[in-house]
Amino acid sequence: MTTFPLPLTELFGHWGSYAVYLLIGIAFGAVLEMAGFGNSRKLAAQFYFEDMTVLKVMFTGIIVAMGLVFTASAVGLLDYNLLWVNPTYLWPGIVGGLIMGAGFIIGGFCPGTSLVAMATLKKDGLFFVLGVLAGIFLFGETVDYFAIFWNSSYMGRFTLPELFGLSTGVVVLLIVLMALFMFWGGEKLEQYYGGKDPKKAPKWRYAAAGVLIAGAFALIFIGQPTTSDRWTAIAQEKESQLENREKQIHPGELLDSLHDTQLKVIMLDVRDEVDYNLFHILDSRHVPINELPEIIEELHLEPANALFVTMSNDEEAATEAWKILEAESVPNAYILEGGINNWIATYGDDDLTKNFNRGAGEDQLCYIFDSAVGSRYAAAEPDPHAFELMYTPKIQMQLKRAPSSGGCG
């Protein structure tokens, strides 16, 4: 079963996916207009505490989307790894938020709502959009002057569970409670500054609040899927690929891939540090298998032509590392057939291969080295023209399902 987010281009084709985006955009714009978000007076009224509709709608959207995202992730309908989370640039984000907030108060719109107003032929919306376009142009022409600040305080894909060290379910519950408190406070402010009668508010909102709280508690108990859970869900399909040797690539195919200018080959050497220092392929990255989950986010940001190859002395540890990549939806992952031992046997000279250790155990280095010189052996960077190897090509680059981006405005 295909999980969300759906690969729309694969399902509907190039133009079909655009049609889906168009329909979603039309629906989003219609809802904003029906909610009154094309009216600058209504939007600006929140800053004077007279009408808190914007706060209520936005917070409702946040908690409903948050609840659906993490519920779908918990039950296996959504692959959270493929969901785009804007990287955090702390201080540029704070300054940008202050500037946008000031513009919102003065102009009465945010970028998205200004387009709604312009679409309904409101003059203030039209001039606001023109101002937005002018600001974009001005920013693009001057960004080099403050590029250092703009790229400062980078924190990556940083989320509240990571910040507070809490489970996702607990964070969801706290945000729901905060939103309900804001709803209550908003009604009090509307009553005091806007003269609104709270008795006219719909009674079903209490039931909705109860449902949200109950859902948040349910998420605490359900939890989010672990790497092990993710692997269990796909194990039947992936184990057959391992048994059929579909993912174990010959050293010759890896060497050819390393010299293929259309590919970016990322070799993940999951052996211990001692073996890695004795010998490793040039440009391979040492990542102990227990640290592999920590770089999954980084691997997801690699370009679509990235080819990932896991390797150990034989195949045992490399296969476990491959399972982690597959479980975490890292595309185009393969295993070096026979591991480093097979690589040395294929490309090593007589001086390198003569010290064969016949007593080596499973997934241990089968060669004895006099010193730890890493990739300074000729076999660490073999010349592809010096070897004529026969192998069955197995690498089939898949269309990468990168984290899907988006957002308001």
Q: Using one digit for the tens of pLDDT, what is the confidence trace for 148-186?
A: 999 999 888 888 998 899 999 999 999 999 999 999 999
Indicate yes or no: pTM above 0.85: no
Digit-coded pLDDT (tens) for 104-150: 999 999 998 999 999 999 999 999 999 999 999 999 999 999 999 99
Mean pLDDT of 28-39: 90
Taking the C-alpha atoms of residue 271 and residue 262, their distance in angstroms, rounded to an integer, is 28
Taking the C-alpha atoms of residue 405 and residue 409, their distance in angstroms, rounded to an integer, is 12
Give the start-to-end residue ranges of the domains of the chain. 8-227, 234-386
In DSSP notation, 335-373 reads EETTHHHHHHHHH--HHHHSSB-TT--TTS--B--SS--
Taking the C-alpha atoms of residue 254 and residue 252, their distance in angstroms, rounded to an integer, is 5
Instruction: List residues bridging with 335 in a β-sheet.
Output: 248, 310
Cα pseudo-dihedral 32, 34, 39, 43, rounded to 10: -60
Digit-coded pLDDT (tens) for 92-113: 999 999 999 999 999 999 998 9
Query: What is the CATH superfamily name and number for domain 234-386?
Result: Rhodanese-like domain (3.40.250.10)
Q: Which two tokens stand for residue 73?
A: 């992730």
Instruction: List residues bridging with 356 in a β-sheet.
Output: 367
Q: Coil, helix or strand for 179? A: helix
Taking the C-alpha atoms of residue 82 and residue 160, their distance in angstroms, rounded to an integer, is 18
Tokens 């390393």 belong to 258
pLDDT above 80: residue 299: yes
Pairing of strands 88-89, 154-156: antiparallel
